[in-house]
Chains A and B, each alone.
Chain A
Amino acid sequence: MMKKLDRSTVGFWTVAILFVVLVQVLISTGILSNFWSTLLKLGAVMAIVSLGLNLIYGFNGQFSLGQFGFYAIGAYASADVTYRWVQLHTANGLVVLTMAVTLVGLALLLFSNLLGRIRGLDTLSSFGLYLIGVIAAAYAAIKLSQPLIAPVTNLLASMPENVALNVVFFIAVLISGILAAEISYLFGLPVLTLGSDYFGIATLGFTIIVKVLLDNSDTIMGFEEMKGARGMVGIPKVTTWIWVAVALLIVIAIVRNLLHSSHGRALISVREDEIAAKAMGIDVAQQKIFTFVLGSLFAGIAGALYAHINGFLHPNTFNFIKAFDPMIVVVFGGLGGVTGNVFAAFAWALILEGFLRIWLPQGFETWRFVVYPILLLLMMLLRPSGIFGSFEVPFIKRALPPLPASLTGESTNAQNGAKGG
C-alpha cells in the first residue's frame, strides 16, 4: 500500500537533493575550492549539532549547554577508531567500541526495565545502580571482544583499502553517536531533575569536565594516540560533502517526522507547561530524557563527522566558550524552528570562518573576534526572535503545531516570564 506523497514533501526532497548534487558537482569540478567546501561541511555539521540542541532546548525547553561535550565525545571516539585502523592497521578500536556500545546499551535497557519496577527509588540511587551496571558491561565488553579482533582485522584487510576505510568510518560514526547517546542517558538521569538554570549549569559543567579529560587524554585516560593538549593528528580525512549532506538530510527527516508524531507533540507540551503535560498523562521525565538522548545522538554523529573533515582534533575546539556556538546558532535560527536553524548553521560557518577571514583587510586579522560579537549584539538587539522568525518551509511547517507567543516574541517560557517582568 503506497501512501500518496504530498506536494510539499516531493518539493522539499527534490530541492534538497538537487542542492546536494549541485554542490557535489561544483566541488568535483573544482569551482568550489577546498576552503569553501570545508566551510560547507562545517556548516552541515553545525546544523546537525544545533538541530539536536534545538530538540532539547527549542522543542523540549531544557536549557542545555552540554551539546559540545557530546560532540567532543563523538569526535574523539570515532577519531580513535579510524586512527587505529589507518595508522596502526588494527581493528581493535572498532571491535571494542562496538562491543562496549552494544553491551552497555543492553545493560541500560535491562536496568531501566528492572529499576522501573521498583517504586520509590530516587534518582541518585538509580544513577548509582546504572553506573555499576555500565561499568560491569564495559569491562565485560573489553574482555569479550579480545578474540574477535584478529578475525575482524583480517576481514577488513581483505577488502579494497578505500572500501575498508569507508566501512570503518561509517561504523565509527554510528557507534560514536550511540556512545554519546548512552553517556547522555547516564548523565541525564540525575541531572534532568534539576530546575532549568541549574540544568544548564550542570551540563556546562559536563562540557568542561569532558574538555579537561581530553586535555589529559594521554596521561590520565591512557589513550596515547589522542596526545592530550597537543592535539590529535593523523585522522583520515574521509568526510566528504555527500556524507555530511546525507547525514543532515536524515537528521532533518527524523526531526520532522518526530515532531509530526504524537511523541513530538508530547515533548512540545513539556516545554509549554510541565504540570499541564503531566495532568494530560504524559511522562514528563521520560520525554525529557528521550529528547536529551536523541539530541546527544545527533551531537555524537556530528562530532564524528567533524573529526574527519580536517583530520585534526584539539581539546580547545570543545572548550566552554565554543560550547555556546550551537546555542547561538539555535537562537539565531529561531528557537523551535527547523528551517531557520539549518540556514543559521550554514550562515554561522560561512560568516565566522569564511567572510570574516576574507573581508577583514590586511593587518586586521585579529579583529575577527571583535567584529563577531558586535554582529552578535546587533542581531540580538534587532532580531531577538531569530533571522527567520517563525518562517518554515511547507514540508516542515505541516508537522509543527503553531508556535506559541512565548517563542515568537515576549518571553522564553511562562515560568521565567513571570519573574522577568
Chain B
Amino acid sequence: MTTSSSSLTQKVIQGRWIGKIMLILASVGVVWVIGNKAAENPTLFVQQIINGLQLGFVYALIALGYTMVYGIVRLINFAHGDVFMVGAFVSYYCVAKFGLHNWLSATFPGINPGLSILVGTISVILVAMIICAIMAITIERIAYKPLRNAPRISALITAVGISFFLEYFGALDFVFSPNFITYKRPFEVVTYYIKSGIFQLEKGVAPPSGSIIFSNIFIIIVVVSLGLLFLLQFIVQRTKIGKAMRSSAYDKPTSRLMGINVDSIITITFGIGAALAGAAGMLYAIAFPSIYFLMGVTPGLKAFVAAVLGGIGSIPGALVGALIMGQAETLTAAYISTPMRDAIAFTLLILVLMIRPTGIFGEPEREKA
C-alpha cells in the first residue's frame, strides 16, 4: 500500500510530519487561548510573567541540586525537596525564635537599620545554607555512601526512605510540628508599581488600575538566585573542586587514577546542592509565607521536572528548565485552569521528552558498549 502511494505521502510520513503537525496545531491552540486572554488585559499578562520569574528562580536553585547530584552519581535524590523544607524551617527559627536578623543592630545599637536588616537577612540565608549542607553531608555519609556499589535502585529506595524520614520526623511535635506555621519575614515588604515610572506603593492603598505591581521580595529572590547561580558557575568552572566534580561526573575510574578523591567530591556535591536548596527554602518561604512539613514535596517535584526538562546533569539546562516551569505554572493557573497547575508540569515534560528524549540541553544517551 505504501509503495503505490504518492511521493508527498511518503514525505509526510518519513519526515515525521504527522506527529509534528498535530503538536504544532495543539501548541497553536494553546498560544491562541493564552494570547486572546492576554490581549484583553496586557498588564495582567506582564504581572503573571513577573510572578512566573519569581517562582522560576526558586525552582532553579532547587533544580541545581538535583541536576548536580544526578550528574555525578546518577541518583535521583528524592530527599532533596525535604532539604528545601528544612531550609525554610531553619530560617523561620532563626528569624522568629532567635531574632538572628537583628544581630547587627543588637550588638552595635547606633547602626543604620537598613544595613542591619540587609546583613541580618544575608546571615539568615547563610545559616540556612550551612545547616542544610551539614545535614545533607551527614545523610550522604550515613545512607548513600555504603550503597555506592549496590544496585542503583537500592540508592533510590534509600532516598525515598530519607525523604519520608525527614518529613515525618519533622512532623513530630517537638521538631517542627505537623501544623501550618506563618512565616515571619526578616524585613518589611515594600511594594512598588510601574505606571509610567516606578513608584512606591503606600501601605493600605490600592494600586492605580493598569499598573504592574512587584515587591522587594521579587528583587531579593532574583538577586540572591542570580548571585548563587554565578557563584556556582564560578565554582564549577574555575576552581579545582569544580574541575574535579566535572571529571568525576564524566568518568569516575579515570578520575580516581588522576588522584581525585571521588568520594569526597561526591560529598561536596551533595553539600553544595543542599546549600542551594536551603537558600531556596528561605526564598520560597518569604514569597509564600506559610510553611509546613510537607511543603517540600511539590516544589521539589517541580524543580526535579525542571532539571529533567533542561537535560538532567546540565547546569544551564536546570536554569532554563526552571524558568520555563515557572512560566508554565503561572500562565496555566492564570489562563487555563488553576487546579491543573500541578499536572501541567508533567504534561509539558512528557511532551518535551517525546521530541527531545534527553531534555533540552541533555547529551544523547551513550550507546551501550
Contacts and interface: CB of A to CB of B under 8 A. Distances in A.
B350 interface: yes
A122 B340 contact: no
A205 B158 contact: no
B252 A193 contact: no
Interface in B144-164: 146-154, 156-158, 160-164
B301 A208 contact: yes
Nearest to B166: A373
Contact of B308 (A201, A367, A385): A201
Nearest to B337: A220
B127 interface: no
A213 B343 contact: yes
Contacts of B232: none
A102 B172 CA distance: 50
A125 B160 CA distance: 36
Q: Which of B20, B337, B357 has the most CB of A within 10 A?
A: B357
A32 interface: no
Nearest to B339: A216
Interface string B353-364: 111011100000
A366 interface: yes
Contacts of B342: 208, 212
Contact of B160 (A129, A213, A328, A414): A328
A208 B168 contact: no
Interface stretch (B11-19, B128-136, B317-325): B11-19
B178 interface: yes
B357 A193 contact: yes
A125 B354 contact: no
Contact of A125 (B16, B161, B350): B16
B153 A331 contact: yes
A222 interface: no
B152 A420 contact: yes
Contacts of A311: none
Given A124-B20, A193-B357, A202-B353, A117 B2 contact: yes
A328 B163 CA distance: 14
A412 B16 contact: no
Interface string A372-411: 1110110011001100000000000000000000010011
B39 interface: no
A367 B158 contact: no
B167 interface: yes
Interface in B246-277: 252-253
A206 to B, nearest CB: 7
Contacts of A410: 149, 151
Q: In the complex, which range does the number of interface residues on chain A fall in?
A: 35 or more
A202 B349 contact: yes
Interface in A329-361: 331, 335
Contacts of B355: 124
B164 A274 contact: no
A198 interface: yes
Contacts of A209: 343, 346-347
A193 B168 CA distance: 37
Contacts of B17: 125
A192 to B, nearest CB: 11
Contact of B164 (A119, A200, A201, A321): A321
A370 B161 CA distance: 9
B74 A416 contact: yes
Contacts of A197: 74, 76, 312
Q: Which of B147, B165, B167, B358 has the most CB of A within 10 A?
A: B165
Contact of B157 (A121, A204, A275, A380): A380
Contact of A370 (B143, B172, B305): B172
Given A117-B2, A321-B163, A380-B147, 16 more contacts: A119-B2, A122-B16, A124-B19, A125-B13, A125-B19, A128-B18, A206-B350, A208-B301, A209-B343, A366-B171, A369-B168, A385-B151, A410-B151, A420-B73, A420-B149, A421-B253
10 contacts: A122-B16, A124-B18, A125-B17, A197-B312, A366-B171, A367-B172, A380-B158, A407-B151, A412-B151, A416-B152
Interface of B: 1-2, 13-14, 16-20, 22-23, 73-74, 76, 143, 146-154, 156-158, 160-165, 167-169, 171-173, 178, 252-253, 297, 301, 304-305, 308, 312, 337, 339-340, 342-343, 345-347, 349-350, 353-355, 357-359, 365, 368-369
